[in-house]
Structure 1
Amino acid sequence: MAVFGLVSAVAGFVKVRFLVDKAVIDNMAFRFHYRVTSAIFFLCCILCTANSLIGDPINCINDGAIPAHVINTFCWITSTFTLPHQQGKPVGTHVVHPGVGAYVEHEHETRYHAYYQWVPFMLFFQGVLFYVPHWIWKNWEEGKIRMISDGIRGAMIGPKEDRKEKQKRLVQYIFDTMHLHNMYAAGYFFCEALNFVNVIGNIYFIDLFLGGAFLRYGVEVVQFSNMNQENRTDPMVAIFPRLTKCTFHKFGASGTIQKHDSLCVLALNILNEKIYIFLWFWLIFLAVITGVALLYSIIIVVLPSIRETILKRRFRFGPPSGVSGLVEKTQVGDFLLLHLLGQNMNMMVFGEILDELSCKLNEYMHNNMPTAPSTMEMSPIYPSKDKFPKETEA
């Protein structure tokens, strides 16, 4: 029951984060990292430490010369091993279990398994890694979107007079800080790139942790499911063996060194194999959508026409002709600020804000545009006739 209490706590954490009315300061791919993926890793960490689900994580059998709790503890804190040359042989006739059979020490290759001690720590650490880019961006952003959209954020629209006053203040803020948001955008794009590096790095990190067996793990499991049942070897059993060997040395009655072979059941691997096959598919999916989101951001920075298209799609309650002028007068940082504001507002309210901002920019450009002089004397670039030397009569 304690396990289900911990799982409920994680679920409650995710639920609260989704339901609390907070300003949205990122995109869906970004939220997949720190909301969904972090919660998945923390949940898997809890499941790996849930002894009530699988019993003891390791149980070893021997000839009775060593107490059970001693051999269990020894094999858990050191390592167990399997025999690669015994993989794929018929169980029951040639081997007792895949990778477990007779061998000659120092002649046959042995594959040691010590990762299972570190699985919960690794899962927790990776959950923290997927939260770090959000933490960096949240501190970089400093609640700007939340503060400037306070009172007009959300789908509900308040009293018209109050809403108009808040919209006016927001438009004035955007107008006064025009072209000052490029560092703000740089922080966002940096954290997006960090998300992509993070997911790719975690895939290779797990592969290194599992001894180079993770990159093709999902592919091999899919291939295994499509093979003939009589002629297939489960890749999950090869990577996460359920039965392994362990060697214990001790002194005998006469002082000679005695060697004791034990067979160890790793019940924890029945969970590990399911966890990592799910993580393989999830991380591949996450890498794809993160790469697409990063490519989308690069296109937005490079191509102003894309920014114009995005604003036109959101600018449904004002004249679309004003969008082109708005994009020409704004930079990438200004566009990101407007884009994030649009994610937090009612579509009609956001359209009114864009319309008012466009009108204010046009008015400013019109008032500050140099006018044509009515006479030659009024223009500073044309000197007065009196300043020209008079012609002498012939």
Structure 2
Amino acid sequence: TYCWIHTTFSIENAWKKTVGHEVPYPGVDKATNEEKRVYHAYYQWVCFVLFFQAAFFYIPRYLWKAYEGGLIAKLTGNLNTPLGSDTNRIKLLTKYLKVYENRHDHLYYFYSFMEILNLVNVLVQMMIMNRFLGGEFTSYGWDVLNFTEWDWSVRYDPMIKVFPRLTKCTFHRYGSSGDVQKHDAMCILPINILNEKIYVILWFWFYMVAIISTITIIYRLTTLLFRSVRVSRTKAHCS
């Protein structure tokens, strides 16, 4: 419990040592002053970070819904269903668009801004996650994919490196004579079995969202700059 609360650490040079011969577990070895330690404190904050990430992903949608106020739903109604595609509603919508032509440009620009905000949001979150996990998130998913192709002599699970299940901990306590003694212990982190899977999924999800958002913004800029593209896309949707 003490180790879990006050963070644990791994020995960097012990990651590639042979388990069972040189070390008992990847990242666990004799701790000396010369050995570089990698401290793990993130696991205490994972649930909070995931909550705030979900909240920030929802912000662009909330802003858009609050800004347009349900206008799009009122205009289209049930026109996307066979039963709702009646001639009168289509005529009313056509008349409305003619009367209020160029009066809703602000909706288009705001929607485009929300798409840009989506991309900025996911990129910033990826940078934050990379810092949160000690610089390991950027290549985390790629390392997991390439895991089976690594040389068996130096092979170690990249998920265990980022989310170790067994770490070291140093604490002090009074000995039998009343002197302060230093104890070197090992700490089991079973929660990391779940964390490693969550962040593999997040890695692929973040990159997929970033790619789709980038393509969407390029498409949006194309329709904004080239009138012929706008006309052709409108005809395609109406046909």
- Name the TM-score, length of structure 1 as normaliser: 0.58
Between Structure 1 and Structure 2, how many residues are aligned? 239
Deviations 1:212-232 (A, max 9, x none): 111111222222211233431
Matches within 5 A, 1:240-389: 240-316=163-239
Q: CA deviation at 1:176?
A: 1.5
Q: CA deviation at 1:175?
A: 1.4
Q: CA deviation at 1:137?
A: 0.7
Deviations 1:302-327 (A, max 9, x none): 000101111221333xxxxxxxxxxx
2:145 alignment partner in structure 1: 222
- Aligned residue identity for 2:24: V
**Aligned equivalents of 2:223 and 2:80: distance in 1?**
25
**Aligned equivalents of 1:217 and 1:94: distance in 2?**
26
**Aligned equivalents of 1:225 and 1:199: distance in 2?**
29
**Aligned equivalents of 1:173 and 1:192: distance in 2?**
26
1:84 alignment partner in structure 2: 12
- Aligned residue identity for 2:21: T
**Aligned equivalents of 1:206 and 1:95: distance in 2?**
30
* Identical counterparts, % of pairs: 41
Larger fraction in strand:
2
Deviations 1:172-201 (A, max 9, x none): 221111111111111101100000111111
Matches within 5 A, 1:57-72: 72=1
CA contact (8 A) 2:116 2:217 kept: yes
Q: Which runs of 5+ in 2 are unaligned?
A: none
2:80 corresponds to 1:154: yes
More displaced 10-residue stretch of structure 1: 221-230 or 201-210:
221-230
1:167 alignment partner in structure 2: 90
**Aligned equivalents of 2:72 and 2:31: distance in 1?**
66
**Aligned equivalents of 2:230 and 2:6: distance in 1?**
58
1:144 alignment partner in structure 2: 71
Could you say what secondary structure the match of 1:250 adopts?
Answer: strand
CA contact (8 A) 2:4 2:187 kept: no
1:131 alignment partner in structure 2: 58
Q: CA deviation at 1:143?
A: 0.5
CA contact (8 A) 2:17 2:154 kept: no
**Aligned equivalents of 1:149 and 1:234: distance in 2?**
52
Q: CA deviation at 1:78?
A: 0.9
Q: Which runs of 5+ in 1 are unaligned?
A: 1-71, 317-394
1:4 alignment partner in structure 2: none
**Aligned equivalents of 1:251 and 1:191: distance in 2?**
59
Could you say what secondary structure the match of 2:146 adopts?
Answer: helix
CA-based RMSD of the aligned residues comes to 1.5
**Aligned equivalents of 2:238 and 2:22: distance in 1?**
72
CA contact (8 A) 2:28 2:167 kept: yes
The correspondence for 1:94, drawn from 22, 31, 51, is 22
